[in-house]
Amino acid sequence: MTSSADATDAATSPEPADPGPAHPDLRTELEALTTEAFRPELSEIDRLPTLDIAKIMNGEDATVPAAVAARLPQIAAAIDAVAARMARGGRLVYAGAGTAGRLGVLDASECPPTFNTDPKQVVGLIAGGPGAMVTSVEGAEDSKELAAEDLDALALTADDTVVGVSASGRTPYAVGAVEHARARGALTVGLSCNAGSALAAAADHGIEVVVGPELLTGSTRLKAGTAQKLVLNMLSTITMIRLGKTYGNLMVDVRASNEKLRARSRRIVALATGAADKEIEEALAATDGEVKNAILTILGGVDGPTAARLLAENGGHLRAALRTTAG
């Protein structure tokens, strides 16, 4: 039986409403969580007009950014630690169950097209494996051992970071992942939505974004899921900024894998350089479509191979490479 607050709604992941006498400790534990609290003032929400329900839900969602803002110092400290390790070749690994796991997989999967990262550089692990993205895998989230096995398959190093994600902050898979990673010398981050969580306590960097009780009791894919998505956006995006994957606010490491992205690449080069279309096309052709390299050839007045060498020598940071061309 799925037991974590990260599980999806009963409509998609059926489980008995009453865990019964065999699970009294778990039931008490869940009742103590802020994310699981019952809100009697909403007990007749199903009788309201649809527009009124939408207004209430929108109002609830509007409180999430403030909850994230309250944890910005902890988020920034975690990002700096992650970026330092990734600059040495480390990986960023998300581990979670249910909604939390899916959000980690989503964030990881968007890094290659957005920042031209190797698919193995940012990894999302979900309890129960890839099939759990669309189908509940009963019991997978309750296993710390499964988390250890999934991480061992990645051969963790001290330069890697493992981010355990769990709305409740008690999900065994997420807590187990952080505990196992820390024992292996990796950096660990624990992201949850309850104060005083076991997940935060187990991690080097604990981030507890307390969003309060949900609109639907226990449905932590709502405010808690939104909060997790916002924090994961920050973790990956700002880390990539620190790694030189952007130039100002331009995605200069974008991978042009389709026509839309090829058009975006041309536009980014234009915004960065102010060059004419013909010069932009020539620069992209000379650098095999690499946006960062193309910008360097135009602004630095170097050829394609030289641009590639200068970027390699400067850790991929375009600003640093440009400084070497200033004469």
For residue 16, what are the CA distances in angstroms to 1, 23, 291?
Answer: 8, 12, 53
Residue 110 designated active-site = yes
Describe the crossing of helices 98-115 and 223-242 by its angle, rounded to 10 degrees: 30
- Scanning the chain, the segments in alpha helix (DSSP H) are 24-31, 50-61, 64-69, 72-86, 98-115, 144-152, 172-183, 198-202, 223-242, 259-273, 277-286, 291-300, 304-313, 318-325
Q: Which of 36, 141, 179, 214 is catalytic?
A: 141
Q: Are 108 and 124 in contact (CB under 8 A)?
A: yes
Residue 149 designated active-site = no
Report d(CA 92, CA 82) in Å as an integer. Answer: 7
Q: Which of 29, 110, 138, 282 is catalytic?
A: 110
What's the longest Cα–Cα distance across the chain?
77
Nearest CA to 75 among 194, 232, 222?
A: 232
Q: Are 35 and 4 in contact (CB under 8 A)?
A: no
Q: Are 134 and 114 in contact (CB under 8 A)?
A: no
Report d(CA 9, CA 26) in Å as an integer. Answer: 18
Q: Which two tokens stand for residue 55?
A: 């207004």
Query: Cβ atoms within 10 A of the Cβ of 244, count?
Result: 20
Q: Supply the residues annotated as catalytic.
A: 110, 141
